[in-house]
């Protein structure tokens, strides 16, 4: 298992992904005909030259049936998914170009040269079998025709899954059930064990967490007024961020890095840029190109020459050691690998400098309206043997412990309660689940169609809940914690 986990990590580290939720879902406009033909021809050429019988035997073993298509498909799907992700990274949208496709193919070729086509195909097979077996684990059984078409779990594919069914049956992972002259496919007991193994491998390698992260960024890129929408739900959203800036005791002229700046709510409306002043320096870092484009327009409108904008992630800050007097992160650390981010922030802060964080804390879920509204998520958590939905949010003690573990001295902390108004059902489900990422770990256990159906169901239930409960009974307290920690 350890060797397989390492192979998946290398795949992720090569900047590649098989994340068709980004790359298609039937939307052919994302990959136009010219790009499709380019990627398809490259995949065909590489597979014909390198996917020999000897290579397949070395990858899957000599008893594995001949599969000429699998290498070509692995190359195409990986390159197509990576092309769309590069579009998100570079332009803040899912609209691809030939330049992005060529860059994706170059990443793939670099990876293939280093690790071999067999490893590429093996990792692809692991990822796609996970999608297949996750669907069968969830639905228990699926009509053979529906499964082969990928309707419920891989609607982005343009080919039949018949070969994958045949191989699953041969391996003993799948079984055929006949009902009323219809054939259904289900996981065998061996298949259930293999699915658990796949889940374990992809979980330990960070693949599953990485997929959730990509979904977040693609959502942020398309959320044109994300911050303003949240501010509507949470009346104190901007006021509390202004309070946070005051609480940090920032001084004019400081050199500051803002992590996860988004479209500038803390930078502009929260007063961070104003507090630094024209003699200071504020670098705004965010992985979402779409968010940064909106921030850039605000910066230009307000003529803030001290603000520089840079795309990047908190886990890999593109600055030298001891660069900044302070690093600020508002409502973002829960979307990162928190320990890695805090260590990286520690690296770029000067000795004696500090980090200021404004973090979301777990919120109470015992209000009647919320329990009734979110029952499908609650039921899903119970099905997954969880007392309540899993979330990225961690409590006050865990927040403080994370800073201490990463080498920080916590100077002060303070909790603030924010009131969240559950008055706009469709918008709030979109922001709460797709944007802020609440219960994403539970949703990640669902195949694609079931996940989308559940989100739609929550929006529909919200309409009913808003008719049933008056506005004053649809308010939740959402706690936040302000933390200031120094580098000693």
Q: Give the chain's end-to-end CA distance (angstroms, integer).
A: 40
Residue 205: C-alpha distances to residues 202, 314, 348, 354, 447 (Å) = 5, 19, 27, 32, 20
How long is the chain?
Answer: 488
Are 346 and 259 contained in the same domain? yes
Percent of the residues in the chain that have a pLDDT greater than 90, as a whole number: 60
Q: What is the pLDDT of residue 366?
A: 87
Q: Is the pLDDT of residue 221 over 60?
A: no
The token pair that represents 93 in the structure block: 């949208």
Structure confidence at residue 388 as a pLDDT band (50, 70, 90): confident
Average pLDDT over residues 98-111: 95
Q: Is the pLDDT of residue 367 over 60?
A: yes
Q: Which of 262, 411, 251, 396 is nearest to 326 (CA)?
A: 251
Are 234 and 213 contained in the same domain? no
Q: Is the pLDDT of residue 30 over 80?
A: no
Are 140 and 238 contained in the same domain? no
Sequence-ordered list of residues with C-beta below 8 angstroms from that of 145, at least 6 positions apart, any chain: none
| Segment among 122-131, 159-168, 302-311 with least mean pLDDT | 159-168
Q: What is the pLDDT of residue 226?
A: 60
Average pLDDT over residues 167-172: 89
Round to whole Å and give the CA distance between 251 and 262: 23
Round to whole Å and give the CA distance between 289 and 49: 37
Q: Is the pLDDT of residue 286 over 50?
A: yes
Domain range enclosing 465: 226-486
Average pLDDT over residues 373-381: 94
| Segment among 74-78, 315-319, 383-387 with least mean pLDDT | 383-387
Are 245 and 388 contained in the same domain? yes
Name the more confident of 370 and 87: 370
Q: Is the pLDDT of residue 244 over 90?
A: yes
DSSP string, 7-51: HHHHHHHTT----HHHH-TT-GGGS-HHHHHHHHHHHHHHHHHH-
Average pLDDT over residues 179-186: 91
Are 414 and 473 contained in the same domain? yes
Domain boundary among 166, 196, 222: 222
Are 246 and 195 contained in the same domain? no
Average pLDDT over residues 200-220: 77
∠ at Cα 258 (257, 263), nearest 5°? 140
* Single pTM value for the model: 0.78
Domain count, the chain: 2
| Segment among 193-202, 285-294, 346-355, 412-421 with least mean pLDDT | 285-294
Are 193 and 236 contained in the same domain? no
Q: What is the pLDDT of residue 21?
A: 55
288-315: pLDDT as tens digits:
777 888 899 999 999 999 999 999 989 9
Q: Which of 247, 264, 246, 267 is nearest to 256 (CA)?
A: 267
Residue with tokens 């918008």: 427
Q: Is the pLDDT of residue 92 over 70?
A: no
Structure confidence at residue 23 as a pLDDT band (50, 70, 90): very low
Q: Which residues pair with 176 in a beta bridge?
A: 185
Are 267 and 215 contained in the same domain? no
Q: Is the pLDDT of residue 220 over 70?
A: no
Structure confidence at residue 411 as a pLDDT band (50, 70, 90): very high
Name the more confident of 420 and 92: 420
Given a contact cutoff of 8 angstroms between Cβ atoms, the answer to whether 122 and 59 are in contact is: yes
Q: What is the pLDDT of residue 290?
A: 75
The token pair that represents 464 in the structure block: 């009913």
Domain CATH for 474 = 3.40.50.150
433-480: pLDDT as tens digits:
876 778 878 888 888 889 889 999 999 999 999 999 999 999 999 899
Q: What is the pLDDT of residue 451?
A: 87
Domain boundary among 206, 222, 238: 222
The pLDDT mean for the chain works out to 88
Structure confidence at residue 346 as a pLDDT band (50, 70, 90): very high
Q: What is the pLDDT of residue 93?
A: 66
Are 191 and 265 contained in the same domain? no
Q: What is the pLDDT of residue 29?
A: 46
Given a contact cutoff of 8 angstroms between Cβ atoms, the answer to whether 357 and 385 are in contact is: no
Q: Is the pLDDT of residue 402 over 60?
A: yes
Q: Is the pLDDT of residue 26 over 70?
A: no
Q: What is the pLDDT of residue 456?
A: 92
Are 299 and 422 contained in the same domain? yes
Average pLDDT over residues 34-56: 93
Q: Is the pLDDT of residue 228 over 80?
A: no
Q: Which residues pair with 143 in a beta bridge?
A: 184
Q: What is the pLDDT of residue 364?
A: 82
User: At 71, is the secondary structure helix, strand, or coil?
Assistant: helix
Are 262 and 216 contained in the same domain? no
Average pLDDT over residues 127-140: 93
Round to whole Å and give the CA distance between 76 and 82: 10
| Segment among 75-79, 223-227, 384-388, 404-408 with least mean pLDDT | 223-227
Round to whole Å and give the CA distance between 322 and 314: 15
Q: Which residues pair with 420 in a beta bridge?
A: 476
Q: What is the pLDDT of residue 45?
A: 95
Average pLDDT over residues 306-326: 94
| Segment among 16-20, 146-150, 260-264, 447-451 with least mean pLDDT | 16-20
Are 336 and 205 contained in the same domain? no
Structure confidence at residue 224 as a pLDDT band (50, 70, 90): very low
């Amino acid at each position: 298992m350890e060797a397989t986990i390492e192979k998946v990590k290398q795949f992720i580290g090569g900047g590649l992904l098989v994340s068709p939720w980004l790359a298609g879902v039937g939307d052919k406009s994302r990959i136009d005909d010219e790009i499709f033909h380019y990627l398809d021809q490259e995949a065909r050429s590489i597979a014909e030259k390198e996917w020999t019988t000897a290579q397949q035997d070395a990858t899957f073993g000599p008893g594995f049936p001949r599969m000429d298509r699998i290498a070509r498909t692995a190359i195409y799907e990986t390159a197509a998914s990576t092309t769309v992700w590069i579009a998100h990274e570079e332009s803040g949208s899912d609209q691809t170009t030939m330049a992005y496709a060529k860059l994706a193919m170059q990443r793939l070729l670099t990876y293939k040269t280093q690790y071999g086509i067999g490893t590429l195909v093996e990792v692809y097979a692991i990822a796609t079998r996970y999608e297949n077996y996750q669907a069968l684990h969830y639905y228990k059984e699926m009509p053979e025709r529906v499964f082969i078409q990928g309707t419920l779990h891989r609607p982005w594919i343009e080919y039949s899954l018949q070969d994958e069914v045949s191989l699953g049956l041969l391996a003993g992972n799948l079984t055929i059930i006949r009902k009323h002259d219809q054939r259904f496919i289900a996981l065998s007991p061996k298949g259930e064990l293999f699915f658990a193994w796949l889940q374990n491998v992809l979980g330990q390698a960070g693949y599953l967490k990485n997929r959730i992260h990509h979904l977040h960024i693609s959502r942020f890129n398309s959320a044109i007024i994300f911050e303003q929408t949240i501010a509507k739900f949470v009346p104190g959203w901007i006021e509390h961020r202004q309070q946070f800036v005051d609480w940090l005791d920032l001084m004019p002229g400081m050199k500051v890095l803002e992590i996860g700046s988004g479209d500038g709510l803390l930078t502009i409306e929260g007063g961070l840029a104003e507090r630094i002043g024209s003699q200071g320096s504020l670098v705004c870092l965010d992985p979402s190109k779409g968010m940064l484009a909106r921030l850039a327009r605000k910066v230009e409108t307000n003529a803030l020459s001290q603000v520089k904008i840079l795309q990047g992630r908190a886990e890999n800050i593109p600055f030298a050691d001891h660069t900044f007097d302070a690093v600020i992160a508002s409502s973002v650390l829960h979307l990162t690998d928190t320990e890695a981010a805090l260590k990286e922030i520690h690296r770029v802060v000067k000795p004696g400098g500090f980090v200021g964080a404004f973090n979301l804390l777990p919120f109470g879920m015992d209000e009647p309206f919320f329990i009734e509204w979110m029952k499908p998520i609650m039921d899903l958590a119970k099905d997954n043997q969880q007392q309540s939905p899993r979330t990225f949010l961690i409590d006050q003690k865990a927040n403080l412990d994370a800073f201490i573990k990463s080498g920080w001295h916590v100077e002060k902390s303070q909790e603030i309660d924010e009131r969240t108004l559950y008055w706009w059902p469709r918008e709030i489900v979109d922001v709460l689940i797709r944007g802020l990422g609440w219960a994403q770990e539970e949703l990640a256990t669902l195949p694609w169609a079931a996940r989308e159906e559940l989100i739609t169901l929550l929006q529909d239930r919200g309409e009913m809940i808003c008719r049933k409960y008056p506005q004053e009974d649809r308010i939740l307290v959402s706690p936040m914690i302000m933390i200031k920690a120094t580098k000693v």
